[in-house]
Structures are given as structure tokens and as C-alpha cells.
Amino acid sequence: MPWRQCEDTAMSDTFEQTCDYCGAKFRVEVPRLEGHEEQEEYNCPSCNKQFKTRAAYTPTVTLISARTDGRNDQYNNG
């Protein structure tokens, strides 16, 4: 996965992901800071399905392409 230098010693990891529930494609930017990473949650921007990763704070999610499943429901994370 590609890494890029941010301010000070902070870094971020950016990757593309396809939601396994609705088929939407989105970009996730995961902030990294050594010694400060905890389990953080982020959601698919189309169906709200929750995913988890280790990060310094909540990842930023950007929709690349809309869902492909033909539905308009929201994922039940409960």
C-alpha cells in the first residue's frame, strides 16, 4: 500500500476498496502516527456498511463509484 509523508512524523495510507455488500468503490485515507494508532471505524459512503482498521484517528472516505447492486437500502451494522 502506498504511504505518503504528512506534517511532522505523521503519515497516511491510502487505498481503494469495493464494498462487499453494495459494490460501491471508494478511497480510504488512513491517518498513521506511530504510537497513537487505535481501532477506528469507517463506513461505505453508499450503504453505510462499517469497516475497521488501525489508525491515529477516523479515516477519510471518498466515493469513487456508486453502488452496483441495484438496491437503495442501508446495511444494518447492528
Please say if the pLDDT value at position 30 is more than 50.
yes
Is residue 12 within 8 A of residue 28, CB to CB? The reply is no
Residues 2-7 have a mean pLDDT of: 45
Q: Does residue 54 sit within a domain?
A: yes
Average pLDDT over all residues of the chain: 89
Band of residue 3 on the pLDDT scale cut at 50, 70, 90: very low
DSSP state of 63: E
pTM: 0.81
Q: Which residues pair with 24 in a beta bridge?
A: none
Domain that holds residue 33: 21-69
On whether the CB atoms of residues 57 and 32 are closer than 8 A, the answer is no
Task: Report how many domains make up the chain.
Answer: 1
Q: Identify whether 10 is part of a domain.
A: no
In a domain, 37, yes or no: yes
pLDDT at 5: 43
